[in-house]
Amino acid sequence: MFEKGQLVPDIMLVDAQGAQLHLWDFRNRSHLAILVGQKGTHEELSQWMAGAAQHQKTWDWLGVKFFGVALSNQSVQPGVYAIDRFGIFLNQFDSGPNVWNELEKEFLYYEAKHC
């Protein structure tokens, strides 16, 4: 879907409350971690948001916002997409139990390189 180091187009996101937001609404303010679900069920997306909430202090400190979206296009691979605050695609991760450590490392190293 995206190439590392490339600008991500302004896509539409739907948050947990159902509000529609544009990806670029967060430019220059927050990094993003977006789950593209395999099933796209409410339960899958709720588990994703609950997992993010367990590490909320870390995400607030790193400036990361989380979103979950249903798989609407078969050409989009399921997984977690990390996007920096400038809209640049950083990396894609498997949505398994180790995703929280991988995301923390990704954004922590990003911040360390850009201080």
Cα separation, 2 vs 48, in Å, equals 21
DSSP 10: -
> Which band of pLDDT confidence, cut at 50, 70 and 90, is reported for residue 20?
confident
Region class of 73: left (phi > 0), else alpha (psi between -120 and 50), else beta: beta
Task: Tokens for 92, please give them.
Answer: 């894609």
Mean pLDDT of the chain: 85
Check pLDDT > 60 for residue 73.
Answer: no
Instruction: Give the residue with greater pLDDT, 46 vs 82.
Output: 82
